[in-house]
Chain A
Amino acid sequence: MSVGAKALAIACATALAIVLVAIYIVDFLAATPSTVKAASAPGGARLTLQTVASYGHSPHPDWVSYLVQDGGGKWHHTTVFKVPAHSLVRVTIYQYDTATGLRNPFWSQVRGTVGNSMTVDGKTMNALDPDLASHTFAIPDMGITVPLKGVADDAKNQCSVAPCPLSMAHTTITFTFRTGKPGKYRWQCFVPCAASFIFGNGGPMQSPGWMDGYLVVA
């Protein structure tokens, strides 16, 4: 093989490698979950979420997940929520999963919400029995932690395919928090709720779009 041919082969191989790396990067960036804007409400916004024991669709039908409802009432499978800065955000979470229990009971207390409290099926509470927690909605950099009570293990009419309708077994958790300056704040679940993963912390716990994501305050 001549020197020119060798140089051409090296140049082609290098170009191919660059293209493959670029495709990988673009694919990675494009895989970021979409952003859903919270519905407007007097004095701020209204954020409506649901947690399901199993998403029920590809690519991971058996993964636990959060979903968010847009202002038009349509459910979206994403965990990036946009809310206004310096305003009140009223959150409603329909919780369809059974309890797993907190590994660290520290997260069983409600923190960072207005009044450091939540309502569970209409009852005001400032903490939950750690063994009854199915998930948490926590934004560590904003000091917000809300434990979510699971439905009973023997509850009838349990939901296994998202989005779940209100006719299926669920608990309703509401709370309000005040946003501060604009920024991108990560949120996560502190219950090791990823079934079949080691210590319950793999899969959906490690994947934005499922049990963690961002609160975009703008």
Chain B
Amino acid sequence: MASEALPSGAPAERVHGRRLLVIWAALTIISVLLIVFVAGPHMPPGNFSKEARDQRHINILLAALAMPVLFGVWTCLLYIFSTFRQGEGELQDGPPVRGHARLQVVWVVATAVIVLALGAFGTEELLGSAKGAGGGQGPDPLAVPAGQKVQVQVIGQQWAWTFRYPAYGGVETSQLALPEGQTTELHVTSLDVSHSFWAIQLGVKADAIPGSDNVAFVTPRHTGSFEIRCAELCGLWHGHMHNTGVVMTAAGFAAWIRQQQAVNAPATKTLPPYSTHYFPDPIRRAG
């Protein structure tokens, strides 16, 4: 692929351009197909909840969109390195380049279209059908899914998660259980420092801030277990602040919550009335 073998001037540029275009198009098509059909089905966070499924679709779309840009840059770089490398002999300057209006217009328009389209797509994902896409939306969420919701309060503390169910006598548990197919309204808060509630396979991640109510929605699609972690460095035992959540059938959930009400009755009697947050009241400091 030596440049000396090609005609000089504009025809040579067209040949190089065509070669680059063919290589770029081939790599892009192959990589996009691999992303969509091979890697895509295995991309995190999976398919466990409606929100997780939406996030996976976004990850597939973004990865596929990145391929033309990635291979555009790599193909140009490698082609230039291999084709226009300075050989033996006298050192020569390349031809002077003084602007290229068409290239600049294409570059600006293409990047602007990509960025604006992604912005519109992201807004649609947050406010449209995905309704918040599993992220914490603060105390007054903009995107609220329709229909009845199971309300669960997620309480972070150094170093454990506990979960409170206001519709079931305000019982608090050390395990998170959710009913299959029903939208859950998670109210995430903290009793001490900042934590971050991350239900990995459910595609939920919401900061747990003391004195704040952070609302996120999730609709599990099938039964099974999922991993819960703290995603905010919160002190010595941050790495141990993990848990396993469960999605149950509606009947299984009803039985489980009845059992939790019975098992945790002694503690439930001492809990403060349900509130969206418990800081700074009650507050007890040592010393």
Contacts and interface: CB of A to CB of B under 8 A. Distances in A.
A82 interface: no
B285 A192 contact: yes
Contact of A190 (B155, B157, B270): B157
Contacts of A108: 266-267, 270
Given A143-B174, A186-B240, A201-B158, A105 B287 contact: no
Given A140-B240, A201-B235, A212-B236, A192 B266 contact: no
Interface residues of B, number: 27
Contacts of B272: 105
A100 B286 contact: yes
A140 B159 CA distance: 9
Contact of B270 (A64, A105, A140): A105
A129 B270 contact: yes
B162 A106 contact: yes
Interface string B125-162: 00000000000000000000000000000010111101
A143 B263 CA distance: 13
Interface in B251-287: 264, 266-267, 270-272, 282-287
A159 to B, nearest CB: 17
A42 B209 CA distance: 47
B180 interface: no
A186 B237 contact: yes
Contact of B284 (A100, A126, A143, A194): A100
B234 to A, nearest CB: 10
B285 A104 contact: no
Interface string B146-187: 000000000101111010000000001010000000000000
B191 interface: yes
Nearest to A199: B192
A86 interface: no
Interface string A49-71: 00000000000000010000000
A14 B286 CA distance: 46
Interface residues of A, number: 37
Contacts of B282: 103
B193 interface: yes
A174 interface: no
Nearest to B239: A186
Interface string B37-73: 0000000000000000000000000000000000000
Contact of B236 (A101, A106, A200, A206): A206
A106 B171 CA distance: 9
B21 to A, nearest CB: 48
Given A109-B266, A126-B266, A129-B270, A192 B237 contact: no
Nearest to B272: A105
Contacts of A127: 266-267, 270
Given A143-B174, A188-B159, A200-B286, A103 B237 contact: no
Contacts of B283: 103
Contacts of A104: 155, 157, 162, 191
Contacts of B270: 105, 108, 127, 129-130
Contact of A101 (B172, B174, B191, B284): B284
Contacts of B172: 106
Nearest to A196: B287
B69 to A, nearest CB: 39
Contacts of B284: 100-103, 192, 200
Given A140-B240, A212-B236, A200 B287 contact: yes
Contacts of A120: none
A194 B283 CA distance: 14
Given A193-B286, A196-B287, A207 B271 contact: no
A114 interface: no
A207 B267 contact: no
Contacts of B264: 106, 109
Nearest to A185: B240
Interface of B: 155, 157-160, 162, 172, 174, 191-193, 235-237, 240, 264, 266-267, 270-272, 282-287
28 contacts: A64-B286, A101-B284, A103-B192, A103-B283, A104-B157, A104-B191, A106-B174, A107-B267, A108-B270, A109-B266, A111-B174, A127-B266, A127-B267, A140-B174, A143-B174, A188-B159, A192-B192, A192-B284, A195-B286, A195-B287, A196-B286, A199-B192, A199-B193, A200-B284, A200-B286, A200-B287, A205-B158, A205-B236
- The 10 A-B pairs of least Cβ separation, nearest first, read A200-B286, A195-B287, A127-B266, A109-B267, A105-B270, A101-B284, A206-B236, A195-B286, A106-B172, A100-B286
